[in-house]
Amino acid sequence: MYELLIETRFCAAHRLRDYEGQCERLHGHNYRVQVLLAGQELNSTGMLLDFKDASAMAEAVVGRLDHQYLNETVPFDSINPTAEQVARHVADGLASKLPRGVEVRAVTCWESDRCAARYLPPARDSGRSPGELAP
20 is catalytic: no
109 is catalytic: no
Specify whether 23 is catalytic. Answer: yes
CA distances from residue 126 to 4, 73, 100 in whole angstroms, order as listed: 20, 32, 13
* C-alpha distance from residue 8 to each of 102, 105, 132 (Å): 19, 16, 27
- Does the bond joining 75 to the residue before it have cis omega, within 30 degrees of 0? yes
Report strand pairing: 27-39 vs 68-69: unpaired
- Rounded Cα distance, 27 and 13, in Å: 5
- Candidates 14, 29, 89, 111; catalytic one: 111
Residue 57, CA distances (Å) to 5, 7, 38, 47, 108 in order: 13, 11, 15, 16, 16
Q: Which of 23, 41, 72, 132 is catalytic?
A: 23
Q: Among the options 11, 27, 67, 115, which is catalytic?
A: 67
Residues involved in catalysis: 23, 67, 111
